Chain A
Amino acid sequence: MKYQNVLLLLAVVALPFIVRPVIASEIWIFAIFGLGLNLLLGYTGLLSFGQSTFFGSAAYVAGWLLKHYGINVFFALGIGVGVGALSALLVGYLCVQRSGLYFIMLTFALNQLFYFVAYQWTTVTGGEDGMHGVPRPALLGIDFKDPMTYYVFISLLFLASLWVMRRIVESPLGRILQAIRENEVRAEAVGYNVPRFKLLAFVIGGAFSGLAGVLYGMLFGIVPLEAISFVFSGNVVFATLIGGSGSLYGPIIGSFVFIWLSESVSVMWARWPLLLGVAFVIVVLFLRGGVVEAWNRFWAWKASSKPAS
């Protein structure tokens, strides 16, 4: 087993003893969200500024069904993945027609559209108050009321998501998406329908976002309006960039840094976003590969400074 996997398993086991299990759960949920974004941002080179569209839509739909129809947890997760993928198909279809700045603005504008629907449709979404009372039903006789039990469930889903995403980025699709990132014109010329592949990346990213959205709603028992707002879309981009968009593990590390800072430091210091701002500036100016690149550079530096024996 590679050392990254060992580290990751250690982190999964140790995390709920370092931070509260709820926060630990939130970190892995956000990491799933980040994995989905990173397929677009890091692998395909598409900056989607509207990922919360899929996160929020899935959280609302599954939350509504959980609340009013008492559906089974697996069914809720399936619905979340489906709604995430479907909303991404819709949004992605419109967005992939354009590139560059126009693409980014479209993802943002459509995010706003979904946000205002959620904002207005108070009978379903609760509007500004959020959708309260999302239950966390037992699954196969396992009671998820206990935060630690729910944490175990979430971390297993996170590891499964990571495994699936790894298969995807190591598949031909992963390589084709990277080829599109590297050179869209040539990718088209060698025989790939580039918009179709971008759309596929969107749908997969949306499915991951949807899964994260449902887990989020069940974790806090509420789907806040922010879950579908540009704030969440921005946060996941932020976290992914800080962690490092160039690698599979970047968004996971980014999610850890982001959630941990926002949940721990914010209690002591209300101006904590300042820290994030500084981190962001450092990443943009000196460390385009984020924490992952810093880590790689550190080891490269250690190896090179080792005296020859």
Chain B
Amino acid sequence: MEGILQTRQLSKSFGALAAVKDVSLSIAAGSLHSVIGPNGAGKTTLFNLLTGTFPPTSGEIIFDKKNITGTPANRIAHLGLARSFQRTNVFPAFSLLDNVWVAAFATGRSWNGLLFKKANQYPEAAERARAALSDVGLLGKANQLAREISHGEQRQLELAIALAAAPRVLLLDEPAAGLSPEETRRMVALVRALKGRYTIVLIEHKMDIIMSVSDRISVMHFGSLIAEGAPEEIQRNAEVRRAYLGGIAA
């Protein structure tokens, strides 16, 4: 089956360092596909390539049968690909609602009146913003400022900003980074709730999360894909154990 998002021999080098090497991935529509690997394996670089932060050195990215290689970051969201960031990357002085509104408006149906209409006169963007906040359970704090909420809530907001773009594919870069066990549980429940509604590509370090939510797992090591399969297969794979799981799964 052809995936909604594919890469073909995707590579990115920074000088002599090959951060991503010949990665060919296929993400099936509606699935939750995880990318795992030790620190420095090239996972975030892969995300940066997929979202146009920088162009690949070689290879192609195919989204919905269209070649989107080299599309700049600000166009990617309009195509229906939205990402969250590993390090919280919100608008600190904005209310939570304005944080998601900015993302909802960007991909909204109309920018008519961009200069003269009031920002609160766009019901579609406002509706989408509230829905995104509600999805992550932050609607009750809609008027608080982003810099005043807890780290865990900021991670939820991070996710809400991605959701507000009404994407078809959601790229989540370690949504549980730096969360307490309790907050992690909440985040996992959240990701699980989003599963099925969106095609999700997930980067994560915490193995228990990966194994419990993923439909498919790709393993990266030193920029290359070394294995791909269902969670059980990955757990059994000897090469993966050597490279990554180490003592954890032994």
User: Are these two chains actual partners, yes or no?
Assistant: yes
Known contacts: A171-B117, A174-B119. The answer to whether A189 contacts B51 by CB under 8 A is yes
Residues B116 and A175 in contact, CB atoms below 8 Å apart: no
**Which of B90, B94, B103, B164 meets A178, CB within 8 Å?**
B94
**Which of A168, A173, A185, A193 meets B89, CB within 8 Å?**
A185
Residues A183 and B91 in contact, CB atoms below 8 Å apart: yes
List CB contacts (< 8 Å) of A165-194 with chain B.
Answer: 167-168, 170-176, 178-179, 182-183, 185-194
Known contacts: A171-B119, A172-B111, A175-B98. The answer to whether A190 contacts B106 by CB under 8 A is yes
Query: Interface SS of chain B: helix, strand, loop or mixed?
Result: loop
Known contacts: A175-B101, A179-B91, A182-B91. The answer to whether A191 contacts B119 by CB under 8 A is no
| Residue numbers in A under 8 Å from B105 (CB-CB) | 172, 175-176
Smallest CB gap from A190: residue in B: B103
Interface segment out of the listed B22-30, B72-80, B180-188, B225-233 = B72-80
Does B114 reach chain A (CB closer than 8 Å)?
yes
| Residue numbers in A under 8 Å from B72 (CB-CB) | 193
Residues A171 and B116 in contact, CB atoms below 8 Å apart: yes
Q: Tally A-B pairs: CB < 8 A.
A: 84
**When chains A and B are docked, how far (Å) is the Cα of A65 from the Cα of B93?**
46
A: interface residue count bin: 20 to 34
| Residue numbers in B under 8 Å from A183 (CB-CB) | 89-92
**How many whole Å from B145's CB to the nearest CB in chain A?**
11
| Residue numbers in A under 8 Å from B90 (CB-CB) | 183, 186
Interface size on B, residues (CB 8 A): 36
List CB contacts (< 8 Å) of B89-121 with chain A.
Answer: 89-94, 98, 101-103, 105-107, 111, 113-119
Residues A187 and B102 in contact, CB atoms below 8 Å apart: yes
| Residue numbers in A under 8 Å from B164 (CB-CB) | 190
List CB contacts (< 8 Å) of A102-147 with chain B.
Answer: none
Does B159 reach chain A (CB closer than 8 Å)?
no
| Residue numbers in B under 8 Å from A171 (CB-CB) | 113-119
| Residue numbers in A under 8 Å from B89 (CB-CB) | 183, 185-186, 189
| Residue numbers in B under 8 Å from A172 (CB-CB) | 105, 111, 113-114, 117, 119, 122
**When chains A and B are docked, how far (Å) is the Cα of A178 from the Cα of B102?**
10
Q: A182-B93, A190-B161 are in contact. List 9 more A-B contacts (CB 8 A).
A: A171-B115, A171-B116, A172-B117, A175-B101, A175-B105, A182-B94, A183-B91, A186-B91, A188-B73
A-B contact pairs, 21 of them (CB 8 A): A171-B115, A171-B119, A172-B105, A172-B111, A174-B119, A175-B102, A178-B93, A178-B94, A182-B92, A183-B89, A183-B90, A183-B91, A186-B85, A188-B73, A189-B73, A189-B77, A190-B77, A190-B82, A191-B76, A191-B78, A192-B106
Q: Which 10 residue pairs across A and B have the least CB separation, nearest first?
A: A191-B106, A191-B77, A182-B91, A190-B103, A179-B102, A193-B74, A190-B106, A175-B119, A186-B89, A188-B73
